[in-house]
Amino acid sequence: MKNMKKFISTVLVAIAATTGAMAQSDFMLAEQLFSRIGINPAGTGNSTNVNIFSLNRFQYAGMTGEGAPFSTMLNVHSYFEKAKSGLGLTVSYDGSGIAYTQLQARVVYAYHVNFGKANLFSFGLGLGAANKMFDPSRHILEDESERGEAFPDSYQSKTYFDASFGIEYSNKYLMAGVSIAHIPGFFYAGDEYYSTLTYFPTYYGYVRGFIPCSEKFKLIPALSLYYTGSGTGDDFKNTDILSKIVWDANITGFISDYVWIGLGYRTQTTTYAMVGFEWKWLRIGYSCDLNLGKLNNISWTSHEVMLSFNIPTKKKSEWDD
């Protein structure tokens, strides 16, 4: 058990210290499609209600001592009928270990184009700032030889201007979107390009279906893809790109529109289960990783807790949930 903890600690340090173009900047959450504005600004304003969405992920729960990864996201947005636009704010924090953290905040905007009552296109833009921080003094290694040349030996912090763009299409039975986050990463050069604190462009794609099986039961299959590029413009010329895409597939069953239960799989052998409850303006969700296969002897797991408030306004829209 002690060796396993040491192994996980070493892996977290390696992630924080890794240089090069494929260092991943963002995190993927099981219940993220409930509020997508963190990965795609085009999802802003899918309801005239004011939506407040909070999602927290506790990784390696039960691990003793400091350093268990923790991620959190807060989204607030609404739709304004006269402007045919959605406006909101997304803030996220990711603590990948004892010494490494990142914080992102963006104002998000989406313009909506309705085609009849069945089809909706939206085009979104997000503008804000992103910060990465690494403090090696907070990380104590049992064996200093593990530190290596790539391990930074001083406090590092860098804040960047951040921008994202995306599009989304939805109707009664289908929702699909694509987006690019951290667009300024295309223009990094020199020391900024090779820094461990750099945000490289990140590509997202997702599709979610809606299958009414009966009056009181519906199936919601979903697939999400996530890829961190290099900022060189040659990302998709790499023949090995498929092995570097993080993907997440899940299927959820909704019972009487109040209760849902689901099962999903994410790259790197992470299988997870979801359950939730929705009543009027309140939505509560929970998911946890299932340690299967080679991971079934690890006592720690990861948990996600979702809390969402859908505060009604006086206006109603055909797109309200």
Residue 307 is encoded by which pair of tokens?
A: 């809390």
Question: Residues of the chain with pLDDT > 90: what percent?
Answer: 45
Residue 318 lies in a domain: no
**Among the listed residues 26, 76, 28, 71, the one whose alpha carbon sits nearest the alpha carbon of residue 308:** 76
Per-residue pLDDT band for 244 (boundaries 50, 70, 90) equals: confident
* Per-residue confidence (pLDDT) for residue 297, from 0 to 100: 52
Instruction: State which H helix or E strand residue 4 sits in.
Output: helix 2-17
Residue 261 lies in a domain: yes
Specify the higher pLDDT residue, 7 or 226. 226
Residue 319 lies in a domain: no
Question: What would the pLDDT profile of 198-234 be if each residue is shown by its tens digit?
Answer: 888 899 999 999 999 998 999 999 999 988 876 555 5
CATH number, domain containing residue 70 = 2.40.160.40
Residue 127 lies in a domain: yes
Per-residue pLDDT band for 59 (boundaries 50, 70, 90) equals: confident
* pTM, two decimal places: 0.80
Q: Report the distance separating Cα 28 and Cα 268, nearest Å.
A: 12
Residue 321 lies in a domain: no
Residue 317 lies in a domain: no
Count of domains forming the chain: 1
In angstroms, the Cα distances linking 9 to 22, 60, 74, 109, 254 are: 20, 11, 27, 39, 38
* Per-residue confidence (pLDDT) for residue 69, from 0 to 100: 79
How is 165-200 classified by DSSP, letter by letter? EEEEEE-SSEEEEEEEE-GGGGG--HHHHH-TT---
What is the span of the domain harbouring residue 171? 2-311
Q: Strand, coil or helix: what is 66?
A: coil
Residue 316 lies in a domain: no
Question: What would the pLDDT profile of 118-133 be if each residue is shown by its tens digit?
Answer: 899 999 999 999 998 8
Q: Which amino acid is at 122?
A: S
Burial class of residue 288 (count of CB atoms within 10 Å of its CB; 0-12, 13-18, 19+): middle
Long-range own/partner contacts, residues 256-262 (CB < 8 A, 24 or more apart):
256/216, 256/217, 257/218, 260/220, 260/285, 262/220
Residue 6 lies in a domain: yes
